[in-house]
Structure 1
């Protein structure tokens, strides 16, 4: 089988990991999460990544999630997995991804250690060469590649994209304007809708959307308005929906994950506001604030296939 060496473009779906009352993964809820993203035409599924509490799931749980995601997606869209952390575990997860027919993986940072560029290169090289799947480099935390290191990595055809999660625009300009279309460029900043206007001129054609787990029509409407230079529409979405959610998200550490679950619960998806430590669930006050924003979202921007009205 020939693998298409191309990173996904458009709005990218990052499912959460739903837990039941016993603290185990709720597979039916996870399937529904993925189905919802597919029904709303997101261009790719990224399973068991940051939004999926990559840090808190076991290897056995990881394997089941990858198996389920590839099965539910059924080749309708590309499926990428999260691979990173301790190198030996990253290599196991890469093999699991290949076993279940994933299209590639998002390479998350190594565990804790802030290595030199040569060390980061060897870390990613080991993962890249372990399978023939596509690989996307994730710039964040303790793993930030400079131009020379990235140039060495793109000698491997498996490397198809770079996702930025740090917002260093000086570095982004150097990378995008030097490497250009050899890579696909993905905006992975926290609540990427907020920063996407600054990324599009540099060649970033896709972004990960947390809010697409519960209001995908808002993310889609925003992106289309942005691409078509409908400034007033973009401004209204910022003022009424995006910035208020971003404000709530910043109230507590870990809300980048738990606020997604709260939003999904509010609209009627079978997801409980339950997370694994060290992340904490959304507090009642902030939950109610999100309910108000979502009520406004559906009143101002009605959608035929929403599940329930908050």
Structure 2
């Protein structure tokens, strides 16, 4: 069913959520044969919601959007919206070229999503005029509010902000570049009501730096498998408990990033493996990703023990 909130109401719900918890990017559950397992996905989403995130972002990068068929995507977004029941905003991923993104947007709207995270266009290097037109065409296809994700080949120029701001349902930016000088310029040029959040890989690593320019909200892949650790870090950061933040970074997050950098695609497959180690029935990753090696799984298991001890 379509969302029942206005763009302004959804923006305000997201703003409140970003003040109270990390942004959850749930995993897409597959069975042993690689088929979507909706029951397992629902259980995972319920566990994520119970941990108190600021919002739920299904079928994005961590949710393997890039490997989903449109019918699978529609069923997953509908399941997430049904499980959320309005308790937290549901922001669905959508991407590829604008025509494909518009189809996914329509499916998300029918399924009850509250908003969209517009992922970078597939493959293409985009001049600014083309990027703005891409966003405009997707936005024209849906009533859902849109957060534009800049990462990889997509970089928003400050000069493009006024054109993006003219698109009524664009409500903010997720940043994956960690170029804080550029992001600060974008933020200052943007409408004051726009939402901004840190979407860097393992965002906790840069969370203090983003906060220093007025962007304290962030996505957390760790929340997908250890909300206890993610929540402990979030509370310590908000309380300016630098000693605890430093300890978590040194003993858990930095070693996790070093492990993540050991394999292509580990930003997703390590997260899914960690969730399985915690007992979540989320299954394997889909090709072209592969699961971590046994050696890396052992290291991951040790890291989880350390992180959970620190969070206790």
Does residue 214 (structure 1) correspond to residue 225 (structure 2)? The answer is yes
Instruction: State the distance in 1 between where 2:268 and 2:116 align.
Output: 20
Aligned to 1:289: 299
Give the Å deviation of 1:173.
Answer: 1.7
Instruction: State the distance in 2 between where 1:62 and 1:104 align.
Output: 15
Aligned to 2:165: 154
Structure 1 unaligned spans of 5+: 303-310
| Equivalent residues of 1:162, 1:185 under 8 A apart | yes
Give the Å deviation of 1:2.
Answer: 4.4
Give the Å deviation of 1:214.
Answer: 1.4
Aligned to 2:29: 18
Which has the higher mean CA deviation after the structures are superposed, 105-114 or 1-10? 1-10
The TM-score normalised by the length of structure 2 is 0.93
What is the aligned length?
301
Give the Å deviation of 1:258.
Answer: 0.5
Which has the higher mean CA deviation after the structures are superposed, 4-13 or 50-59? 4-13
Instruction: State the distance in 1 between where 2:88 and 2:162 align.
Output: 28
| Equivalent residues of 1:135, 1:158 under 8 A apart | yes
Does residue 280 (structure 1) correspond to residue 290 (structure 2)? The answer is yes
1:57-95 per-residue CA deviation (whole Å, 9 max, x = no partner) reads 111111111111111111110001111102221111111
1:257-299 per-residue CA deviation (whole Å, 9 max, x = no partner) reads 0011111111111123x11122111111111001011112223
Give the Å deviation of 1:5.
Answer: 4.7
| Equivalent residues of 2:10, 2:114 under 8 A apart | no
Give the Å deviation of 1:301.
Answer: 2.5
Aligned to 2:126: 115
Give the Å deviation of 1:141.
Answer: 1.4
Q: How does 1:10-49 map to 2 (within 5 A)?
A: 10-49=21-60
| Equivalent residues of 2:77, 2:112 under 8 A apart | no
Aligned to 2:311: 301
Give the Å deviation of 1:138.
Answer: 0.3
Does residue 265 (structure 1) correspond to residue 297 (structure 2)? The answer is no
Structure 2 unaligned spans of 5+: none
What is the RMSD of the two structures over their aligned residues, measured on CA atoms?
1.4
Q: How does 1:70-149 map to 2 (within 5 A)?
A: 70-149=81-160
Aligned to 1:202: 213
Give the Å deviation of 1:162.
Answer: 0.4
Instruction: State the distance in 2 between where 1:106 and 1:299 align.
Output: 34
The TM-score normalised by the length of structure 1 is 0.93
Aligned to 1:186: 197
| Equivalent residues of 1:5, 1:160 under 8 A apart | no
Instruction: State the distance in 2 between where 1:151 and 1:42 align.
Output: 31
Find runs of 4+ consecutive structure 1 residues off by over 4 angstroms.
Answer: none
Aligned to 1:246: 257
